[in-house]
Structure 1
């Protein structure tokens, strides 16, 4: 009998009773690292532990869902990332089992650890603390062509980056929620966040602020990003308080909802918007497009803030170049939009 693996050589079985389930995770060449069979959780745990010690790449099965039924440690579904670990898939999902008895996030990157995820969906994490999907605690987290969705935490429903380096490339953060701040992403404690060609979409800070992004005492730079359909009490799309810095380029803040500051809430901080559009956001009281308070500084360069309700910017006159006229102005030709269906959503 011959057994042909999705990866690697053909193996000849010597006994009729050989079971695929007991075969070990397959080693791979230097380019591919360690390959882990579909939904082989013990194999994935072993591969992460080995990569923590020796560095290296882990390749998961394409179009496969790896389901975590119990935590590896107190708070995390998989071993803490302490080394330099890269995990790649192809339309591959790692999720917490919806019927799992315990609450746990999926990944936790600790100080000096580096985690790179490629073509993966991180889904269904549930944390009573920070980072429902992933917590990056003074480490480095890189997400490429990935999706963070349907996670929940007290703070940072999808991702919580505290004092670390967070880079998202062609990545979507959607349908995550937090009880407190940062429904999609919380960037805190001097953390640095960069995001390019992706979306913060339909996230919710249930009882607090920063539906899509809470950038608190941090620096966040977003280019060609759609921030759309997020909700919070303050800062439906983005909240930028307490001396933080947010930079938007060729991005859209659209269809977000909050009590105040539906598109962007800027409090005693700096926000720069270049070649961007803030439109169709709705606040219950004020700051439909932008709420700028406590001597905050907002700069608009080739950027339009239009068709927000009940106003575009509040207080009136606090954002140079922003008026509360109801006249719609077309975005500049250089404006880049990211339609809802532009980002692939692996299942």
Structure 2
């Protein structure tokens, strides 16, 4: 047998070496500077891993993890092969304490709560979503995300098909919400703010889209109280408000200011911005 193997042509020996390297790749993936959490083998594995993690650690998440989950320390959760965090309809899918949390390449879904069906940031925490999706969650306020007084940043992420009484996609109470190259789409609120309900904080959209959201008032964006909203190179389009004329299909501004910089508000029903004149450079 040794002689037969030695007789292999050179190309076959090289191919065998390549196969060996490819086979080794999955083991090497564990060397990404983090701890692997295999929810494919054990759907309940993530919360114990969070509880055991040192502050500042990174967890590499595989499969669909069944929650809900509470994060009480600085932590990064990095999804591998589009991992899913499933809230199991028994609370916010992810509740964040007064810590810094990064959620990367994850789908956050199936949460049901009073505040923040998908993500509840209610203690002044800092939450960053990178290349992630928050979808199909429900709440009274903040179907996708509820941000109280903390900071939430979305980079290259989506908030879609969430439902709430107020803030179908995102409810920002008095905190800071920033969307960069991100999308709010097909979220629904029974009352205010299909896409975003900004109760009195600061919201900034940069190169982002708010589209096909629905509410009674402020189909795309509802800005209220001391709230300020700034759109940079962004679009608010094809949103619907069901409150009749003046209900702000795209944007309803009863807050301090909504500013459009190189941004477009168009094709919203029954109007783009309300009340008339409340958003400079917005017509129709």
Instruction: Please point out which of 217, 220, 227 is paired with 2:210.
Output: 227
Check 1:87–1:290 CA distance in 2 against 1; reply closer, same or farther (3 A cut).
same
- SS of the aligned residue for 1:243 comes to coil
Q: Structure 2 length as normaliser, TM-score?
A: 0.84
2:57 is the alignment partner of 1:59: no
Work out the CA distance in 2 between the residues paired with 1:33 and 1:197: 27
Tell me, in whole angstroms, the C-alpha distance in 2 between the residues paired with 1:163 and 1:319. 25
1:162 maps to which residue? 148
- Unmatched 5+ residue regions in structure 2? 1-22
Tell me whether 1:45 sits opposite 2:47 in the alignment. yes
Distance 1:198 1:229 in 2: 14
Structure 1 equivalent of residue 3 of structure 2: none
Q: Which residue of 1 aligns with 2:17?
A: none
3-state SS of 1:8 partner:
helix
2:257 to 270, 274, 277: 270
Cα offset for 1:323? 4.7
The two structures have a TM-score, normalised by structure 1, of 0.69
Structure 2 residue 85 is matched with structure 1 residue 94: yes
Q: Secondary structure at the match of 1:157?
A: coil
* 1:109 matched residue in structure 2: 96
Residue 282 of structure 1: SS of its match in structure 2? coil
Q: Does structure 2 conserve the Cα–Cα contact (< 8 Å) formed by 1:250 and 1:275?
A: yes
Partner of 1:74: none
**CA contact under 8 A between 2:273 and 2:282: conserved in structure 1?**
no
Which residue number corresponds to residue 121 of structure 1?
A: 107
Offset of 1:248 from its aligned partner? 0.3
Distance apart, 1:139 and its partner CA: 0.5
CA contact (8 A) 2:57 2:76 kept: yes
Say whether residues 1:132 and 2:117 are aligned partners: yes
Quote the Cα distance in structure 2 between the aligned partners of 1:50 and 1:117.
18
1:94 CA drift (Å): 1.5
Q: Which residue of 2 aligns with 1:84?
A: 74
Q: In the aligned structure 2, how far is the partner of 1:322 from the partner of 1:115? A: 36
Aligned length: 255
Instruction: Give the unaligned 5+ runs of structure 1.
Output: 10-25, 72-76, 293-313, 325-347
Cα shift at 1:224: 1.0
Return closer, same or farther for 1:290/1:58 CA change in 2, 3 Å cut-off.
same
How much is the aligned-residue C-alpha RMSD, in angstroms? 2.0
Contact map agreement 2:253 2:279 (CA 8 A) in 1 = no
User: What displacement does 1:120 show?
Assistant: 0.5
| Contact map agreement 1:158 1:177 (CA 8 A) in 2 | yes
- Measured after TM superposition, the shift of residue 320 of structure 1 is 4.5
CA distance 1:320–1:205, shift in 2 (3 Å): closer
For residue 118 of structure 1, give the secondary structure of its aligned residue in structure 2. Answer: strand
CA shift digits 1:152-207 (9 cap, x unpaired): 011100000100010000000000000x210000011x20111111100000002x
User: What SS does the aligned partner of 2:71 have?
Assistant: coil
Whether contact under 8 Å (1:169, 1:197) holds in the other structure is yes
- CA radius of gyration, larger in: 2
